[in-house]
Amino acid sequence: MARLTSKEKTARYRQKVNSDPAARAEYLARKRESYQRRKHEGKIPYVKSDELSERERNNLRNKWKAASRGYRERRKMEKAMLDLTPQSIENTLPDPAGVELVEGSKRVQGGVWWWVLHSK
């Protein structure tokens, strides 16, 4: 039998932890405790937004907006994938003739390629 890679070992561990609610609760409690300890030790930087320059503050807000936009889009796509009634399929599929790929819309997010399609 071949040895498991680190990725496979991690996947097995996560599967085992996530399948047992008590083990998952214990795991999450350990992660919270570790985070609080590192925060108390000052290893996690925290800067109030009013201490940032105007440019840094705007950059931070733009990151937040992009993250929120991505989250809403992913949630919308998940909902569309789960709702597979014939009527919803007809309404969500774009017309191939009226769709074009916008230049620069390809980007990597979490190891997944996201393509943004816009109708004409």
Give the tens place of pLDDT for each residue, 21-77: 998 999 999 999 999 999 999 998 888 888 899 999 999 999 999 999 999 999 999
Does 89 map to a domain?
Answer: no
Domain count, the chain: 1
Q: In whole angstroms, what is the distance from residue 101 CA to residue 117 CA?
A: 5
* Nearest Cα residue to 46 out of 97, 38, 58: 38
Which residues form the domain of 15? Answer: 1-46
Q: What is the CA radius of gyration of the chain?
A: 21
Q: In whole angstroms, what is the distance from residue 100 CA to residue 115 CA?
A: 11
pLDDT band for 94, please (50, 70, 90 cuts): low
Q: In whole angstroms, what is the distance from residue 103 CA to residue 116 CA?
A: 10
How big is the CA angle at 67 (ends 62 and 111), to the nearest 5 degrees? Answer: 125
Does 97 map to a domain?
Answer: no
pTM: 0.40
